[in-house]
Structure 1
Amino acid sequence: MPQAAWSAKRERQYQHIKDSAKKRGKSEDRAEEIAARTVNKERAQHGEAKTASAKTLRDTPAPVRGGRRSHSGAQGRTREQLYEEARKMGIAGRSKMNKAQLAKAVGH
């Protein structure tokens, strides 16, 4: 759901992302979730939010990234994404693993 603290620009961005997700076949609820998460991350990266995680602040903004992380192709997912999946799976020793080792451990 759109937040009261969002600017008119962020409201337009939210609506555009939501409509795009719905056109791709996502449900109404899932489209709203995707749009809200995307807008909130953009706000955090541009200093518009009160708090933001360190990972969000280090990450390359989506408009700059331009689809380079589509989970396919030569590079695939980032080390951070693989690490988070390994953490959810409870894989021991993940903090000392490099990207290739994490990919092998999570089965990708």
Structure 2
Amino acid sequence: MPTGDKSAYTDKQKRQAEHIAEGYEKKGVPEKEAERRAWATENKLSGGGRKSGSGRKGS
């Protein structure tokens, strides 16, 4: 997957990352940096891109 490709994320993950980025921007973080931090935070919270299957082990 190319760097920056967000197609593997669910709509919910994309919305959450956008909300996180807005919070960083309100604190004065530049837009690009806010977006980078938001996706890093979302990855930490959700474990990365789309996950499926009832057999997945929760962490």
Q: Verify same fold: TM over 0.5.
A: yes
Q: Which one has a bigger Cα radius of gyration?
A: 1
Q: Between the two structures, name the one with larger relative contact order (CA 8 Å, sep ≥ 6).
A: 2
What is the DSSP-based 3-state SS (H/G/I as helix, E as strand, rest coil) of the residue aligned with 2:29?
coil
CA distance in 2 between partners of 1:7 and 1:23 (Å)? 25
Q: How many residues align?
A: 47
Length-normalised TM-score, structure 2: 0.68
Where does the alignment leave 5 or more consecutive residues of structure 2 unmatched?
A: 52-58
Query: What residue number does 2:22 align with?
Result: 19
Change (3 A) 1:5 1:14: same
Query: What residue number does 2:38 align with?
Result: 35
Where does the alignment leave 5 or more consecutive residues of structure 1 unmatched?
A: 49-56, 58-108
C-alpha RMSD of matched pairs (Å):
2.0
Asked whether the equivalents of residues 2 and 36 of structure 1 are also in contact (C-alpha less than 8 Å), the reply is no
Query: What residue number does 1:3 align with?
Result: 6
Alignment of 1:1-108 (within 5 A): 1=4, 3-44=6-47, 48=51
More helix by share: 1
Give the percent of matched residue pairs that are identical in Structure 1 and Structure 2: 32
